[in-house]
Amino acid sequence: MKPDSIWQPPPRALSLQVLVSMADVDSYQIHYHSYYRWIELAHHQLLRRAGMTVRELLAQGAATPAVHSECDYFIPVQVDETLTLLAWIDRPGKTSYAARCLFMNAAEQVVAQGQVIHVYIEHGRPVPLPAWLLRLASDKEA
C-alpha cells in the first residue's frame, strides 16, 4: 500500500528511466545521494524542455541554485533495477520553485520521492521567475 503522502504527478510530468548501478546502492539498498543526482538530471531535462540549458543560463548571468532538498524512501532498490522517474516543476513562488520527482520500480510501486527547491537568480540576486520557467509549472500547454 502506498503512503498517503505520495505526490501525484501532473500530466505534464517528464518521464525518464535510470538503471541502478553499484554506485547507486549500499548494503541496505538505499544510497541517498543517488536520488538527488537523479533529481538534478531530471531538472536539467525539464529546463531543456523549456528551451533553456544550464550553460545558457550561466552565460546570461542567471542560475537556479538549490536552497533546500528532501527525499523520502519507501522501498529499497537493487542493482540492475530500472527506475522510472516522473519529474515536474511545482510550487512556483515569486523567485523560487520546486523540482519534484517520483521514483517507481518496474511494478509501478513508488520507491521514493524527492524535491529540490531552487531560487532563480540573475547576477547573484533573486529575481522574479521568468515566463518560460512559469510555463514549466503550468498544466496548460506551453
Q: How far is CA 125 from CA 21, 45, 64, 86, in A?
A: 38, 24, 11, 30
Q: What is the pLDDT of residue 37?
A: 95
- Cα distance between residue 80 and residue 71, in whole Å: 21
Amino acid 23: pLDDT? 87
Span 50-78, pLDDT tens digits: 999 999 999 999 999 999 999 999 998 98
Q: Are 101 and 85 in contact (CB under 8 A)?
A: yes
Contact by Cβ (8 Å): 114, 108: no
pLDDT of residue 1: 38
> CB count, 10 Å around CB of 120?
21
Rg of the Cα atoms in the chain: 16
- Whether residue 88 contacts residue 13, with contact meaning beta carbons closer than 8 Å, is answered with yes
- Between β-strands 66-73 and 62-63, what pairing exists: parallel, antiparallel or unpaired? unpaired
List of domains in the chain: 14-136 (3.10.129.10)
Ranges of the chain whose pLDDT falls below 70? 1-4, 30, 140-142
- Return the pLDDT at 5: 74
Cell numbers given for 54:
544550464
Work out the end-to-end distance of the chain between its first and last CA atoms, rounded to an integer number of angstroms: 35
113: left (phi over 0), alpha (psi -120 to 50) or beta: beta
Dig out the grid coordinates for 57 from the structure.
Answer: 543560463
The predicted pLDDT at position 4 comes to 63
Q: Are the C-beta atoms of 21 and 79 separated by less than 8 Å?
A: yes
